[in-house]
Amino acid sequence: MSCECVQLSLQDKKALRILPLVLVNNEKPEVSGRLTKWAIELSEFDVEYIPRTAIKAQAVADFVVEFTEPSIEVARMMVEQNKKIFKWQLRVDGSSNTHGSGAGVVVSTPEGDSVECALRFDFKATNNQAEYEALIAGLKVCTVLGADEVEIFSDSQVVVNQVLDEYQARDESMITYLELAKELLGRFKEYRIIHVPREENEQADALAKLASATINI
């Protein structure tokens, strides 16, 4: 609002009493002689001084909020999902060495029981194939036990990130394994898969090594 506008508005004080005045300026009232004069003349009215910088700052703030609210909501949903406690937990690990290949599976039930499996493969598998075999075997065990949701822990960075679509499966065998794993995961109402260090997956790791080191009779 310009100085002229204020002076003209003062000619009709009845109208000014109806609505509060908002005065937008580039200076602080206490450092401007003209604004000090206005403040005296307008003292009987409800006048709010808003610096232009405040308006610009608010516009920027509104812009930021408008474009970050979806991201905040996504982040909130991710936090809430991470807080969820799953009734069923599955820990898997695969192992492949010169003696053979195998998998370790540990299923924790809602009742606190633990189902452990050491599976030896009758075929030679790579490390990644053994890790997928462990995941698939574990998911099948959970399905047989009646699990409708499951939290999965694996120390295979490749398998976990391929399931999460962070890594792309390029090898034909990896693509087949990934498709089968996702088909089995689709049978659960909800699941979460987490990559953990090997030292946090010791039980499944020990079972996998036991299975892969066992000599067929």
Per-residue pLDDT tens for 154-191? Answer: 999 999 999 999 999 999 999 999 999 999 999 999 99
What does DSSP say about strands 89-97 and 149-154: parallel, antiparallel, or unpaired?
A: parallel
Amino acid letter, 105: V
Region for 165 from its dihedrals, namely left if φ exceeds 0, alpha if ψ lies in -120 to 50, beta otherwise: left
Quote the mean pLDDT of the chain: 78
HSE of 161 in the Cβ direction (CA atoms, 13 Å)?
9
Per-residue pLDDT band for 129 (boundaries 50, 70, 90) equals very high
Cβ contacts of residue 159 below 8 Å, gap of 6+? 128, 131, 132, 135, 181
Instruction: Write the DSSP symbol of residue 99.
Output: T
Per-residue pLDDT band for 16 (boundaries 50, 70, 90) equals very low
Task: From 154, 160, 147, 155, select the one nearest 88 (Cα to Cα).
Answer: 147
Q: Please name each of the domains of the chain with its CATH number.
A: 3-66 (no CATH), 89-213 (3.30.420.10)
CA distances from 65 to 56, 70, 79, 80, 109 (A): 14, 9, 20, 21, 43
Q: For the whole prediction, is pTM greater than 0.95?
A: no
Q: How many residues does the chain have?
A: 217
Q: What is the DSSP string of 54-67?
A: HHHHHHHHHHHHHH
